[in-house]
Amino acid sequence: QKNVDGDFAFAHVQYINREAAFTNRGGCVATGHHLPQWANDSPLRFFHAADRFERANGERYKEIVFSLPQELTVEQNREIIDRFLEKHLKGHYYAWAIHEKVGTLSSGERQPHVHIMFSTREIDAQERQQERTPEKFFQRANKKHPERGGCAKAEKWVGKKRKDYLLHIREDFAKIQNAVLEKYGVPVRVDRQVDQGVARQR
């Protein structure tokens, strides 16, 4: 159930949501998720199931971390996140959290950013029609008989061209930010060449 670095998915979701042992760290100003009904609106329950039912040494989640414009409010930055999720993660189960703390080396400036954790398993027609059990969802997919296996992992996240897709979403995230900045009359723009985001996998 452990990854090579010993990080459990359920522990990481506690970290991004500042729960349990991470409560005192603070700085979590907003959270959200898209989960199956069996998770009962609990990212912890969903990612604990990933730890339990994904194959040994299998990838249980990916995480994307994006910086957010400090010129926008939390609610305005949520518009950026919602647009990104709708375009790139609509077919996945995920949880996100906005962190905002004043950096010790930032001369008092805010440093808002978002953590997005998601399963690379893509919601298929069978899952939309009738949700699988947690154990079934994280099983190997069965192409001939989808109802007998889990949801397949999306090629864009795990395939040979995943690096190209990461570059695409990086560029797209900059465009989304700039559109929202323009909407609220903020006279700054984001350059996709700036190191504003990073993707990790577990």
Which of 15, 61, 93, 94 is catalytic? The answer is 15
**In this structure, what token pair is assigned to residue 4?**
């090579």
Helices 9-16, 43-53: axis angle to 10 degrees equals: 160
How many Å separate Cα 58 from the centre of its chain? 18
Tell me whether residue 184 is one of the annotated catalytic residues.
Answer: no
Query: Taking the mean position of all CA atoms in its chain, how far away is CA 158?
Result: 15
- List the one residue out of 1, 30, 34, 6 whose CA is nearest residue 16: 30
Q: For residue 16, give Cα distances in angstroms to 52, 116, 131, 132, 148.
A: 20, 9, 26, 26, 33
3-state SS class at 67: strand
Catalytic residues: 15
